[in-house]
Amino acid sequence: MTMNQMEAAVRIAQLSKELDEHNYRYYVINQPVISDREFDLLLEELIRLEIQFPELLLPDSPSQRVGGTVTREFKTVVHKYPMLSLGNTYSEEELRDFNERIIKLIPDEPVQYICEHKFDGVAIGLTYIKGKFAYAVTRGDGIQGDDVSANVRTIRSVPLQIHAANCPDEFEIRGEIILPHSAFERMNEERADIGESPFANPRNAAAGTLKLQDSAEVARRKLDCYLYALYGKELPFSTHEEALNAASAWGFKVSNDRRICQSIDDVLGYIRHWDQARLHLPFDTDGVVIKVNHFLQQEELGYTAKSPRWAIAYKFKAQSASTLLRSVSYQVGRTGAITPVANLDPVQLAGTTVKRASLHNADQILKLGLHEGDTVWVEKGGEIIPKITGTEPAKRKPDAQAIHFIEVCPECGTRLIRQEGEAQHYCPNSSGCPPQIKGRIEHFTARKAMNIDGLGSETVDLLVDKGLVRDIADLYSLKKSDLLALERFAEKSATNLIQGIEDSRSVPFERVLFAIGIRFVGDTVARKLARHFLSMESLIQADKAALLEAPEVGEKIADSIQAFFADPMRKKLVDRLQEAGLCMAIDPGEAPKRVSDRLAGKVLVITGTFEQHSRDEYKQIIEEHGGKNGSGVTGKTDYLIAGKDCGPSKLDKAAKLGVKVISEVQFLDLVGLATAD
């Protein structure tokens, strides 16, 4: 049924309200009432209506959480209320001194403290005007910070609109943007899988994510946000606890682990509890923040030049232990990356037994000055990844040899290489190094790739060791009789595996592109490359300039794609996969629904950044109106849509070839989506 604008406005308002409620239930109070699929269907309906009626798209729409805005520079914003830092202490004695100072300054009044987690993330200030999210600013230097609003909009636990009637007309709420352990582990697995170095800890990962230029990638990484302080004129609260209760009622995510303490002994009891209990939290904390609860007392106590006198942060001591370094071994990944691993005498640390710790790369070994048999100190970075933080040279044996990074691959003996500007060494023998061969096959068959059941690491090892499979294309030549000749296979398991391989021929192009294992091309980049180039052939033929026009693609990824397809063996491998019947282009059934023929037969190229829609949305609009997306300006290009900050090369080429250059507004007018002034 076709809607008019008024009907669409009503439906958009209804969908927005429903989605806001489901976001709150899922991401704030952890009480979802619908499935992920049902949520996605509601969101898809909203996005379709907003594309059809762009004048109804509002900044606080739930659709804006999926990202798509590209930010070339982050604007600097002066804090309305300076973001001061807290004084730190690691000592219970210093906490008692803090308490004594408070009592001396306000001797005639009982003092109540409120204790909260000290989240290990990125400080943020969120400003709301008339109940709507206005902007988000990082701490910066405390006086001014970066406007990261586009990225913060993607965080599902941050409300874009407050529906409560009692919130102030304007206020700022501050908190910490964090990356939960589950999201951090998933991100590092993905980075390792595409040949990227893992993040050291969730805090670094959160900080890096918040400054990404593409908000769609920020949305995919699943940041979270806990809020803990309200600022504004004449706020109607007498205590910090009242303010946090109000923030929670307004829809903000506030920690439920806070506690009112009537004495410094209560505070110390809270600290001792969480020093151990924090190990079971789904996110990182590195201490406890202690604040005087009553605002009038806070005002009376005042500030030093750097921090409030009424608050202090108790920092937990990093959980570390000393143990012996037994040896250093070297792992070879599917991309050929070599990762050194320290093998240790088992030691208890943060509730687990640690036997191994990553040494990351040659530079880390050199920095630590490791020798054979060293006594080393081990910590858990972000309470997740064991790492060696130092050695005890005084305990080193006089004849201990320094550990030097290997020069040849431990698996195939090939001399290692290290590209300029990269931290890791690589084995270049991609076609003959067993871990690389097996790793590529495991990657190819994984759930996010070709999703071939029954091909775990043990089965892959067996198939490669028996000579039945030498590369990913060989999988499509396997016969059931080949499998039945092996010890591990019976009739049913052999039938299931062959059927799984057969089913994978229908896997969509974007997953095939991810599965072939181009270094630095994860599933998100593969999906965007597939949508941008539409076919493997177009991707292979794209020059570097055309690759750089694709979303998410920078110099490193563009060079990696070109190097991959320049290798005759890899190009032949892709040809064999195509002959095996794998999908090498976007399925016509996945194409956007046709809205009109206004652009029928026209080829359009997009360059620069835009205000009203993202580049991906414009590509979809082009296809919905019958046009084709070109990757570069050629004699066949009909229009070049030029946004802000577009490079001169495409404009120059368009001028030489006589291609018409149009603005964002002119394009929207061309397809009938321009709004009236």
Question: Has residue 520 been placed in a domain?
Answer: yes
Element (H, E) at 137: strand 132-138
Residue range 159-178, pLDDT digits in tens? 999 988 889 999 999 999 99
Q: Are residues 117 and 208 in the same domain?
A: yes
d(CA 662, CA 618): 13
Choosing from 17, 118, 233, 619, which is the catalytic residue? 118
The band of 71, judged by pLDDT with boundaries at 50, 70 and 90, is low
d(CA 50, CA 46): 6
Question: Has residue 159 been placed in a domain?
Answer: yes
Residue with tokens 């929207």: 668
Q: Are residues 477 and 620 in the same domain?
A: no
d(CA 487, CA 334): 27
Query: Which domain CATH number covers 384?
Result: 2.40.50.140
The band of 322, judged by pLDDT with boundaries at 50, 70 and 90, is very high
Query: Which domain CATH number covers 647?
Result: 3.40.50.10190
Residue range 555-589, pLDDT digits in tens? 889 999 999 999 999 999 999 999 999 999 987 65
Q: Are residues 611 and 575 in the same domain?
A: no
From residue 157, alpha-carbon distances to 27, 28, 254 in Å are 5, 6, 10
Q: Is 118 a catalytic residue?
A: yes
Q: At residue 355, what are phi and psi to the nearest 5 degrees? A: -120, -20
The band of 677, judged by pLDDT with boundaries at 50, 70 and 90, is very low
The band of 338, judged by pLDDT with boundaries at 50, 70 and 90, is very high
Query: Which domain CATH number covers 26?
Result: 1.10.287.610
Question: Has residue 408 been placed in a domain?
Answer: no
Q: Residue 244's domain spans which residues?
A: 76-315
Q: Are residues 519 and 629 in the same domain?
A: no
- Give residue 591's pLDDT: 55
Q: Are residues 168 and 213 in the same domain?
A: yes
Tell me: pLDDT of 612 over 50.
yes
**DSSP states of 472-524 as a string?**
GGGGGG--HHHHHTSTT--HHHHHHHHHHHHHGGGS-HHHHHHHTT-TT--HH
Domain boundary among 506, 533, 554: 506
30 within 8 A of 54, measured Cβ to Cβ: no
Q: Are residues 486 and 521 in the same domain?
A: no
Residue with tokens 């060696």: 388
Hey, how many other C-beta atoms are within 10 angstroms of the C-beta on 407? 8
- The pLDDT mean for the chain works out to 89
Mean pLDDT, residues 215-237 taken together: 91
Report how far Cα 122 is from the mean position of its chain's Cα atoms: 14
114 within 8 A of 241, measured Cβ to Cβ: yes
**Of 212-226, 270-284, 311-325, 645-659, minimum mean pLDDT range:** 645-659
Tell me: pLDDT of 383 over 50.
no
Query: Which domain CATH number covers 529?
Result: 1.10.150.20
Q: Are residues 460 and 532 in the same domain?
A: no
- Give residue 674's pLDDT: 64
Q: Are residues 610 and 483 in the same domain?
A: no
d(CA 651, CA 633): 9
Q: At residue 264, what are phi and psi to the nearest 5 degrees? A: -65, -30
d(CA 644, CA 371): 55
Question: Has residue 585 been placed in a domain?
Answer: no
Question: Has residue 359 been placed in a domain?
Answer: yes
Domain boundary among 66, 98, 118: 66
Q: Are residues 620 and 557 in the same domain?
A: no
Residue range 269-320, pLDDT digits in tens? 999 999 989 988 999 998 999 999 999 999 999 988 778 999 999 999 877 8
Question: Has residue 175 been placed in a domain?
Answer: yes
Q: Are residues 280 and 375 in the same domain?
A: no
Which amino acid is present at 313? Answer: A
Hey, how many other C-beta atoms are within 10 angstroms of the C-beta on 320? 15
Domain boundary among 487, 506, 525: 506
d(CA 437, CA 566): 19
Q: Are residues 117 and 181 in the same domain?
A: yes
**Residues in Cβ contact with 386 at an 8 Å cutoff, skipping those fewer than 6 apart:** 349, 354, 356, 357, 358, 378, 379, 380
Number of domains in the chain: 6
Mean pLDDT, residues 605-630 taken together: 82
Q: Are residues 179 and 301 in the same domain?
A: yes
Question: Has residue 324 been placed in a domain?
Answer: yes
